Amino acid sequence: MTRQLLSTLLLWAAALLVALAAVTLLPYSSPRINDFGYHSLCPFAPYSSGTLLLGAGLAWVVRAYLKQQT
């Protein structure tokens, strides 16, 4: 796998994880209330959102490290 392809895949992975983190916070009629006090698509919000954002940040850091290498 080339470095350019891996960099592109990490960029898409980071973008997908950020989008999924936003989706977990969307209001939705579910039987459980999240810790923010409203019904959302994911009852584990904001913890699931934070975990997804952490994964996106990790993908972004690895991508930056790969781009820095010669």
The total number of structural domains that make up the chain: 1
Confidence (pLDDT) at 48: 95
Type of residue numbered 50: G
Q: How far, in Å, CA of 13 to CA of 11, rounded? A: 5
Confidence (pLDDT) at 31: 87
Confidence (pLDDT) at 70: 66
**Number of other CB atoms surrounding residue 43 within 10 Å:** 15
Tokens of 51: 């975990």
Which range marks the domain in which residue 17 is found?
A: 3-68
Give pLDDT tens digits along the chain (70 positions).
899 999 999 999 999 999 999 999 999 988 888 888 899 998 898 999 999 999 999 999 999 999 998 6
Phi, psi of 9 (to 5 degrees): -65, -40
H helix intervals, the chain: 3-23, 47-68
**Number of other CB atoms surrounding residue 42 within 10 Å:** 20
Confidence (pLDDT) at 13: 98
